[in-house]
Amino acid sequence: MNETLNNIEVAMFYLMIIAYLLSTVMYWLTLVSKKVWLEHLATGITILGLAGNTVALIVRTIIAQRPPLSNGYEFILTFCWGIVAVYLFAEFRYKIKALGSFVMPLPFLLLTFIIMKMGPEERVASAIPPALKSQWLTFHVITAMLAYGAFAISFGLGVMYLLKSRSDDENGKSNAKGWISRFPASQILDELAYKIIGFAFPLLTLCIITGAIWANYAWGTYWSWDPKETWSLITWIIYAAYLHVRLMYGWKGKKAAWMEVFGFLAVLFTFFGVNYLLPGLHSYA
Amino acid sequence: MNDQSEGVMEKVWNIFSSMKTGVFLLGVVAVVSGIGTLIPQEALDPKGAQSVSAIWKTLGFTHLYATIWFRLVLGLLCVNLIVCSVQRFSGIYRKTFKPNPPQSSKAIPQKIQAKISGPESELRAAVMKVLTGKGYRLTTSEQEGRWSFIAQKRRWGNWGSLLTHLAFVVLILGALVGSMIGFKGYFMAGVGDTLPIKQIEVSKGNVNENFSMKINSAEDRKLANGERDNWYTDMSIIESGKEVARQTLSVNHPFTYQGVTFYQANFAQGGKFTVDLKGQKIPVVLQDQGGNYFQVPGTDLYLFLSAMKADPKAPVVLYQVYQGNSPIKMGQMSLGQADNIDNTFTLTFDGMAGYTGLQVKKDPGVNVVWLGCALLMLGLILSFYWRPHTLSGIIETKKESSLLLGAVRGRLAVGTQEEFNQAVTDVEGLITAGSAGS
Ligand code: HEM
């Protein structure tokens, strides 16, 4: 039975990676061609990829008899799920198809990272130490998934803003030609990115808090300044600064867009850089 | 001179009430925290911190987060947040609870504005109906030739950022309290041991409590599939010889007694022995791998358990005896076997015994920290998921019979405009419907 489940999981993994690659390509094609069916196809393939992603996570839960939130491989699958789910929500809610061109490469690259960097022994559903058996860990990872997913979307919007605003005149009127002209107005991109960060910031805060509660149950210390914790705090401060400079200097537009890009780079560093570049304690993730 | 000091006070106040200072201080916290992840810190990596050159150590770079400088920055941030909140309080209070209807058409927000014509009484009725229907609460003002209102929805959202800021101060204070009073320690004990809390190995603070801990059992429990379930310790608290509390704890399930919390942190195998010293039988629990020792009373003989095979059915132990610093005997025993040692005592191996490692902590600040976290979440939810909307409008009958309506733009101009347009359309709908009917 486990054999079958394992095979399903592997199949779903490849379904996901192919779907995310194809949808990226489709979204790119919709930038140059106005065919409506292409847009529908891109969305359809994205939904298929998300379905595969969901099944992979469910199967992993059945195999491991616990939430799939306990090693780097499982975190990346969850991270991808968060990005694509928040993306699809944004696409349906705000009807910005071009956004897919800038967001969908992210889950594809994350999965490619698994193939290139993680051996089979890092991917198996292994036993977890008692410290990881906690309800709080589940909350911790779910909030991280949604917050990080949303930050990925604000990254995509930031990139779109930077492309679009290059052809704005002083009055904010766009003179863009070609594919960029079909992006929404830069003010809409800017405000949507802010709105999405406003959605994600409380979740990131909750993620850090639930992590602290869990650490306190497990080790009796809610904050130990380990590099992963510290970098999540730095990410949190970057986004807090973003919210403040928006009000203080009216940093909207370009400067805000750059902060959306940098903020997400900090997210990625917290996720990967800390494990691969810094010596650290947070050895579970 | 008084004037001068007032001038200085004012300058200091201005610096501390400024958001620029706040963002700057937050930036400093971020940069310093980042540096701390690049240099080995004593608390996390004592060996690495040793190898850092002396000058950096003296400057505090190997214990950055505990330096007075870092705490000073956090302290300044708190002062900043408090000053800023004091300054903003009355404004937010007035905005939320004492909203002022506009006194003239100039006071209507201009960026989002619309004008609706119609008979005065109908306009009034329509705008009140539409806005209350949408969940706004209206404050109206009526004067000679002028009717105006201000309408608010989700007004508690105004308090979001203030609450967030104060919550952060509460959080920092809680952390500070915890780091100044309270203690943190660790002990390992075998089944049957009783240990006064004053004797644990303390890494921070002082222990003032007077009870003892007795380990009733310690177990490394496995699941049916061979994976580890958890480590369990059944322990009692003994106060003046009496058991006053008893509980089983495991990883992630700590046990708290009088503000002191015990966390399952470690587990080791150990062996139970009996030392027979000229008829006096002393039970001894030793930890595997020489984790502890037993000094035979009245001698300079020390007993260690250097290795064991933890097979529950047929355990085997390897013990070692030292006289002072020199090893004098080493032997292997299986269950129930006895050895005579140095003609001084006999040692019997009675079986395996769990050896449990518990982290002990008293942190009176931790509940303050959780309170801060709860307020922080509440503040953020109000800020971002409960955004207020404010509309205002005026009818000046002296000029013409029309309603001038405007919306405060807030953080989301596009969204506010949409909400505003909807309200305008609804009011216009009522007016034309009313006019068509009459
Ligand atoms: C600990 C870090 C801080 C956090 C988490 C935080 C959080 C927030 C949040 C969530 C908002 C609302 C932003 C929005 O609606 O877009 C806000 C606004 C604001 N913050 Fe902070 N803040 C922090 C530090 C500071 C500091 C140090 C100051 C300096 C005095 C400050 C001054 C302000 C001001 C003046 C506003 C504007 C409120 C308004 O215009 O409605 N904040 N803050």
A22-56 residue pLDDT tens: 999 999 998 888 788 888 999 999 999 999 999 99
CA A241 to centroid of ligand 1, rounded, Å: 9
Helix (H) or strand (E) holding A250: none
Structure tokens at B30: 């971020």
- Chain A residues with CB inside 8 Å of B40's CB? 279
Q: Please answer yes or no on whether A130 and B251 come within 8 Å at the CB atom.
A: yes
Residue-wise pLDDT for B84-139, tens only, equals 999 999 999 999 999 999 998 899 999 999 999 888 888 999 999 999 999 999 99
Which of B164, B204, B251, B362 to mutate against chain A (most A CBs within 10 Å)? B251
Can you give the residue ranges of every domain in chain B? Answer: 2-94, 99-154+387-437, 183-362
Residue-wise pLDDT for B22-68, tens only, equals 999 999 999 999 998 888 887 777 777 777 777 777 778 888 888 88
Using a CB–CB cutoff of 8 Å, tell me whether B10 touches chain A: no
Structure tokens at A22: 């194809």
Structure tokens at B52: 């850092």
CA A250 to centroid of ligand 1, rounded, Å: 14
Atom of ligand 1 nearest to the CA of A194: 16
The set of protein residues with a Cβ atom below 6 angstroms from ligand 1 is A 240, 243-244, 247; B 19, 22, 25-26, 77, 80-81, 84, 161, 164-165, 168, 380, 383, 411
Three-state SS string over chain B comes to CHHHHHHHHHHHHHHHCCHHHHHHHHHHHHHHHHHHHHCCCCCCCHHHHHCCCHHHHHCCHHHHHHCHHHHHHHHHHHHHHHHHHHHHHHHHHHHHHCCCCCCCHHHCCCCCEEEEECCHHHHHHHHHHHHHHCCCEEEEEEECCEEEEEEEECHHHHHHHHHHHHHHHHHHHHHHHHHHCCEEEEEEEECCCEEEHHHCEEEECCCCCCCEEEEEEEEEEECCCCCEEEEEEEEEEEECCEEEEEEEEECCECEEECCEEEEEEEEEEEEEEEEEECCEEEEEEEEHHHCCCEECCCCCEEEEEEEEECCCCCCEEEEEEEECCEEEEEEEEECCCEEEECCCEEEEEEEEEEEEEEEEEECCCHHHHHHHHHHHHHHHHHHHHCCCEEEEEEEECCCCCEEEEEECCCCCHHHHHHHHHHHHHHHHHHHHHHHHHC
Residue-wise pLDDT for A78-96, tens only, equals 999 999 999 999 999 988 8
Q: Per-residue b/e over B378-387, b at no fewer than 16 CB within 10 Å?
A: bbbbbbbebb
Give phi and psi for B212, each to the nearest 5: -120, 160
Which residue is closest to B165 within chain A, CA to CA? A240
Give this complex's ipTM: 0.90
Residue B320 has pLDDT above 70, yes or no: yes
Which residues between 108 and 127 in chain A have a beta carbon less than 8 angstroms from any beta carbon of chain B? Answer: 127
Q: Which residues face B104 on adjacent strands?
A: none
Residue B213 has pLDDT above 70, yes or no: yes
CA A94 to centroid of ligand 1, rounded, Å: 28
The one-character DSSP state at A281 is S
User: Going by CA atoms, what residue is nearest to atom 15 of ligand 1?
Assistant: B383
Going by pLDDT thresholds of 50, 70 and 90, the confidence category of residue A282 is very low
Q: Please answer yes or no on whether A217 and B175 come within 8 Å at the CB atom.
A: no
Place of tokens 């405007």: B406
Place of tokens 């001698």: B299
Domain B99-154+387-437 class, CATH top level = alpha beta
**Cβ neighbours of A92 (radius 10 Å):** 9
d(CA A206, CA A150): 14
Residue-wise pLDDT for A149-161, tens only, equals 999 999 999 999 9
Which residues between 344 and 363 in chain B have a beta carbon less than 8 angstroms from any beta carbon of chain A? Answer: 359-361
Using a CB–CB cutoff of 8 Å, tell me whether B412 touches chain A: yes
Structure tokens at A121: 């022994």
CA A244 to centroid of ligand 1, rounded, Å: 6
Can you give the residue ranges of every domain in chain A? Answer: 1-122, 129-285
Structure tokens at B276: 């027979």
Q: HSE on the CB side for B408, CA within 13 Å?
A: 19
Tell me if residue A238 falls in helix, strand or coil: helix
pLDDT, averaged across chain B: 88
Residue-wise pLDDT for A179-203, tens only, equals 787 888 888 899 999 999 999 999 9
Q: Please answer yes or no on whether A194 and B411 come within 8 Å at the CB atom.
A: yes
Under 8 Å between Cβ of B274 and B284: yes
